[in-house]
Amino acid sequence: MNKQQIITALKAVREQKPLVLNITNYVVMNNSANGLLALGASPIMAHSQDELEELVPLVGAVVINIGTLDSHWIESMEAAVTLANRHGKPVVLDPVGCGVSSLRTHTSRRLAALAERLIIRGNASEIIALAGAAANSKGVDAMDGSEAAVSAGQQLVQQYGAHVVISGETDIIIGENREVRLNNGHAMMPFVTGMGCTLSALTGAFAAVGEMSGAAAAAVMGVAGEIAAARSPGPGSLQLNLLDTLYRLDAETLENHLSIEVTTA
């Protein structure tokens, strides 16, 4: 994955305008939907198991976010992943708060094991907990740095045949034979609810057009966040400016701002 491939992937999203199914949490539905629209994709937020058989065949990807988990949503999430497998759709799993409670941890692992075309996108503490190691978290916030989660991410790649995106000060994207490090974003971004959840939604849009590594979404989100933060005095304006920046983001801006390092095994 290089700059030109990321630029090409963004162009594909804007040309194809993929429909992305989100089973996500109440806190971030509006943020995630607006992020997808600003990027150029099309969101649908659906939680009822009764309509999934009709919806999943129509979408380009399924995004599962466990942020506000309960037993009814778990049933819908499992049904959506099963249908995604049946129809060959990629699944993005955001294991929000994995490691904080047994419900979140067990559900995350069950969904990861169920999905056949999987991208896992989480913060370092979530990735470490999903892999079965002891993580440091404060609610849904990471207390571990992204580098501390690399070995856990590599384990998840092998265990689930997944691509893994570790979000943090440096975003680290791990595939079977490659690691990508992205050094964009801004320290203000964690002060806005749902930035990671929005990234997971964008990851679904890129997966829908065939970009399964997760790197393009992380690159676009990082560059957009960095630019938006430069013109934002605080988190409130950052939310608005991020959407505007995603909408206006072009190849030249990505080329000039993206800080990327790729290593191969």
pLDDT digits (tens, 9 = 90+) for 159-214: 999 999 999 999 999 998 899 999 999 999 999 999 999 999 999 999 999 999 99
Q: For residue 143, what are the contacts with CB-CB under 8 A and spacing of at least 6? A: 125, 135, 136, 137
Residue 136 pLDDT > 60: no
- Outline where DSSP puts E strands in 124-253: 137-138, 141-142, 163-167, 171-174, 178-182
pLDDT band for position 84 (50/70/90)? very high
Rounded-to-integer distance, Cα 191 and Cα 72, Å: 30
Answer yes or no: is pLDDT of 134 > 80: no
Q: How far apart, in Å, are the Cα atoms of 140 and each of 113, 136, 193?
A: 22, 10, 11
Mean pLDDT of the chain: 94
The pLDDT of residue 99 is above 90: yes
144 — pLDDT class (breaks 50, 70, 90): low
Longest dimension (CA), the chain: 47
What pLDDT sits at residue 221? Answer: 98
Give the model's pLDDT for residue 143. Answer: 60
How many CA atoms does the CB half-sphere of 147 hold within 13 Å? 3
pLDDT exceeds 60 at position 135:
no
The model's confidence at residue 265, banded by pLDDT at 50, 70 and 90, is low
Give the model confidence (pLDDT) of 40-56 as tens digits: 999 999 999 999 999 99
